[in-house]
Amino acid sequence: MLAILILLPVAAGCFLWLARRHYVISQLGGLLFALLNLAAALRLYQGGQFSVILPVTVPGFSLTLRADQVAELFLLFAAAMVPLLLIYSIGFVRDKKWGGLYLLYLCLSIAMVNGALLSDDLGLLLFFWEGLLGTLFGMLLLRNRENPRAAVKALTVSGLADLILMLGIAASVYSAHTTLMSGMQQLPVTGVGALGCAALLMGALGKAGCMPFHAWIPLAAEDAPTPFLAAFPGSLEKILGIYLAARVVTELYAVKPGSAVSVTVMIFGAATILLAGAMALAQTDLKRLLAYSAVSQVGYMVLGLGSGLAVGVAGAVFHLFNHVLYKTGLFMTAGAVEAAAGTTDLRQLGGLRHRLPLTTGSVVIFSLAITGFPGLNGFYSKELVFDAALEVNVIFYLAALLGAVITAIYILKMLHSVFWGQPAAAEINADQRQGAQNQPAAAAVNPAADQLPTARQAKVTGRQGEAWALAIPQLLLALACVGFAVGESPVVDGLIGQAFNLQERFGGFPKSAALVIISCLALALAGADHLYGWRRETAASRATDHLTGLPGLRQLYVAAQRGCFDLYVWLTAGVRAFSRLCQWIENGVTWFYDIGVPRTIMGAGNWLSALDNGSLARYLALAIVGMLAVGLIFILML
Amino acid sequence: MVLLICVGTPLLGAFLLPALGHWSEKARRWGSLLMVLTALVCAAIATVDLLHGQADAVRLQLPLGLSMGLRMDALAAFMALTACTVSAVIVVYSFGYMKTYTHLNEYYLMITFFIGAMLGLVMSTSLLQMYIFWEFSSFCCWRLIGFYRDDLSVKRADKAFMVTVLGALAMLVGFTGIYGATGTFDLDALQGSQIPGWSTGLILVGILSKSATFPLHNWLPDAGVAPSPVTSLLHAAVLVKIGVFAYARLFVLTFSIDPVITVIVPVIAAVSALVSAGCAMMATDIKRVVAYSTISQLAFILLGLSSGSRIGFAGGLLYILAHSMAKAGLFLCCGIVEHNLHTKDMTKMGGLARTMPKTAVAFAFCALSVMGIPPFSGYFAKYLVISGEVDAGHPVIAAVFILGAVMTIMYLVRLFAKVFLGPCRNPESREGNGQMVGSVLTLAVLSLLLGLLIFLPSGLITLAMEAM
């Protein structure tokens, strides 16, 4: 059964690649595979925990697959996302030349995710984990061989995270004297253990897209096809990253609340929420906005997990599930919008609610969920994270709350400008004019703004009406959001609480009414700000301009434009400086071999031959010096 | 007997090739391939025997404690199979690459003779015999780097020869120190013996010069003037592995050494890995980038073998295999590009994936393997090496190597992106001929398959680990 979950997606990928020209067969095949995958995951979940040792030996590895409750829960959730991702992807890549390869890579990625979730051996886990890097690189290259910047950046930044994870695994294996996660229980966070814990968390959260490992995601949002965004930064990578981070915090290492590791992780979480949220505010491209939003939301999970508290873990994992549902949905929405209107530029879009009624219905639910609107699933998970943050330190709570306000502001802007209002060419021109004068920084963080196709072109390229393959997965995700809201208690206490063996119960309406009221006020504040911004600028797509022009934020965008928050920029700058040093050393070594040694030998030769001038006295003197030297050697040897 | 055929066929048979060449060009090529394949088959037979518990050996006892012989053990089998497999692919590649050049008699003679020398070296039972084969390989290297006969090639060939031969002479002096202390050159008799510290140091000089480790590495990037199959065979896949093999044979499996060596050598390796990675980032000549990458990866191998932990040793051996396949593939791909564009300057290239899609895929596969990305074989090797170093209690050195691995990703991605991606700047370029493209694809697929079927070489590696 465990092997099926890994081999089945590989077979499905090959099938979809071969059947790439036949749309219906692809859809049916994809659906069949996705359902089989789901059935296998469900069967596993019902079957309880067990482990299998693969019948091959590789030195240094004990190739063990294990399905325990945590793995089964994440596996089931990932498997539930697969049908939606596949149906949507097959619909999206229809008639595209690169479609077959895309589906092959997607299925291989699913195999990798399944494998990583089922691995008990950390080396094996890394095998599947890092394998995603290969498929990621391939997918990002599909449409962008001419301009591979996103692929290069993703491979470098994620590669760094994965290699740090490798170091963490090596250190953990050294501390625990076993390569199996089941053999690592509450390792102490000291010495090599501290290195192991920190490196594992960095690797895991890097995969989830936490700052500063997020750098490639906004770039991918511009260059990669939308189903990729839904699948990778939207769901699969988040599931995997948070899965491992949750295991590290709850199981592998004894991370105490308030310890150095815990506080550091929480600081990264809070910074991610705020910085990525602030970046999302300034975006004028739908996909880039959602990409920054995806990064920002990871911050909540990191904050929850970093707290080391049971409520934080429950909140983080529940937030992950919710996030995957609504963010995948939102990315799919962006794809549907792109397919319908031919652009994702907020300034060109508008009034799509008439053309895409189903998409609009779903996107409203996703938006309410992501903003934490009371009654929807995002509300419950955010409140749990707020609880945890407040328990550790009020500063973390305030950061999270501010993040919620920011989220609501940019989501309202997105919703309003895409689905309501009117697409006005005049507005674009005015915006471009004004943007050049007033908003150089905001324009600079939106490189896509340079190549605006006109709304008329967009209409020609865009498909009319709503494609079912693109709409149905969104509807199902919206339903799932509602379902998770209604059945919140069974999910939090039943599924998550049971899997992580949490003693307390966190389901049901939040216990602290005061926190709920504050959250509601925060949402109201965001709503009021949007109205103010919209009235002031007379365009929904510019409703955040009054914020992005604020002192502080303005400098932030300038810094972002310079690459101050971009790990890739740091890395390349550091490596370039180091490489220059190396080149300098190498030039020295080359000089030694190519010039120094030959010149010394030639010089010595010339000098010796110059001595040979036929003078008897000189020969005699040389002979005496020679004899003295031989004598000296003899004396030294004696 | 099978070992004598294995070593003797390429070593002595190579001298028949010029005669065959006078008769027919085809006979010379196929003769060379046949000899390499014979060696491969014999090595495979001896390996099967070994896995069944029967180690083949030939031995000749001479006076004065001298001896000669050939012996198959796990390490030798591993090296012989790796060398022969890669060599066979490279010889096939040569059919396509070399056909327009003169001096082919010498080329095939030297290539085949070198493979014989390599096999003789890995199966040697005595230090003196090792030294002799070692110098044979240096001689082949000298002739082959200077193959084009122009001034620059000859100068570079002389440089490589000087550095490696001086290193070998230092090693020979080290060997005499061992003979002085123990009265024998025989590896079996020396098993577990203590050797003088200065001997260890001198032997290390030989090893580091042959395996191009900083600061004795400088000859390797310069050797890129040789034809690409030569660079691939000698300076990526086989010759440079002689040094690390000698480390494994002498300092891991034979002598008992001072534990301080397990710190000094990894530190040298770390410096070598980082400096060469930095140089690879700066170089614009595609073959120099790959050559610096070889120096950097050899440091990983050396780290694995010298870490003192069994896991690291297994990783080092696996790295030899994975790196031989992948790096040979990279050099051969560079050869196809160079052959086509008549330049090695990457700033004049771009978008070649459009005109050379198969070469681009092969290059990508081999590069991913060198970067250590699963499911390619390089992953297992890199993971085990890093794991082994932490296991030996040196997490800081392991962290430095993680930096080296990050730089590996960066310079290889840079190379791939500059040459194969971006706007097409060489629309007139075409895919190489069938033999060349077939060879690189074979190596690329082997890199992938070895990762997926990683348990296949594991039997031999486990056997070698047990001998530690």
Tokens 């919209």 sit at which residue? A534
Which residue does chain A place closest to B421, by CA atoms? A145
Closest Cα in chain A, distance from residue B307 (Å)? 14
The secondary structure element, H or E, covering residue A51 is: strand A50-53
**Is residue B407's pLDDT more than 50?**
yes
Candidates B278, B414, B421; nearest CB to A578: B278
Name the closest residue on chain B to residue A127, using Cα atoms. B374
The chain-wide mean pLDDT, for chain A, equals: 83
pLDDT of residue A424: 56
**Which residue of B384, B386, B395 is in closest CB contact with A195?**
B395
Measured between beta carbons, the chain B residues lying within 8 angstroms of A145 are 351, 353-354, 421-422
Say how far apart CA A77 and CA A117 lie, in whole Å: 11
In angstroms, rounded to a whole number, what is the distance separating the alpha carbons of residues A362 and A356?
A: 10
Of A128, A167, A582, the CB nearest to B398: A167
| Cβ <8 Å between B279 and A127 | no
As a whole-number percent, the residues of chain A with pLDDT over 70 amount to 93
Identify all chain A residues contacting B225, using CB atoms and an 8 Å cutoff. none
Domain-wise residue ranges, chain A: 277-550
Kindly determine whether residue B278 and residue A583, on different chains, have CB atoms separated by under 8 Å.
yes
pLDDT in tens, B335-355: 999 988 888 888 888 888 888
- What's the rounded Cα separation, in Å, for the pair B342 and B209? 31
Which residue from B279, B375, B422 is facing A586, i.e. has the nearest CB?
Answer: B279
Confirm or reject contact between B396 and chain A (CB < 8 A). no
Instruction: State the average pLDDT over residues B138-153.
Output: 91
ipTM above 0.85, yes or no: yes
Q: What would the pLDDT profile of A578-625 be if each residue is shown by its tens digit? A: 999 999 999 999 999 999 999 999 999 999 888 888 888 888 998 999
- Residue B300 at interface with chain A, using a CB cutoff of 8 Å: no
The domain locations on chain B are: 1-257, 259-468
Q: Which of A153, A213, A579, A585 should be substituted to probe chain B, the one whose Cβ sees the most B Cβ atoms within 10 Å?
A: A579
**Residue B264 Cα, gap to closest chain A Cα (Å):** 20
Give A262-311 pLDDT, tens digit per residue: 889 899 999 999 998 988 888 888 888 888 998 999 999 999 988 888 88
Q: How sure is the predictor about A451, in pLDDT bands with cuts at 50, 70 and 90?
A: very low
Residue A589 with chain B: CB contacts under 8 Å: 214-215, 217-218
Predicted local distance difference test score (pLDDT) of residue A428: 45
Give yes or no for a contact between A557 and A548, defined as CB atoms under 8 angstroms apart.
yes
Query: Across the interface, do A146 and B163 touch by the CB < 8 Å criterion?
Result: no
d(CA A83, CA A98): 20
Q: How many CB atoms lie within 10 A of CB B136?
A: 18
C-alpha distance from B399 to closest chain A C-alpha (Å):
7
d(CA B106, CA B18): 7
CB A359 within 8 Å of CB A325: no
Whether the CA torsion B104, B105, B107, B112 is positive or negative: it is positive
Closest approach of chain A CAs to the CA of B171, in angstroms? 20
Beta bridge partners of residue B60, listed in sequence order: B68
Of A507, A337, A303, residue with least CA distance to A414: A337
**Overall pTM > 0.90:** no
Res. A461: pLDDT tops 70:
no
Nearest residue of B to residue A175, measured between CA atoms: B391
Peptide bond before residue A212 is cis, with ω within 30 degrees of 0 = yes
Q: Which residues in chain B are contacts of A164 at CB distance < 8 A? A: 402
Of the candidates B299, B245, B304, the residue with the CA atom closest to the CA atom of residue B271: B299
Contact A131 B375 (CB under 8 A): yes
Q: Mean pLDDT throughout A359-382?
A: 87
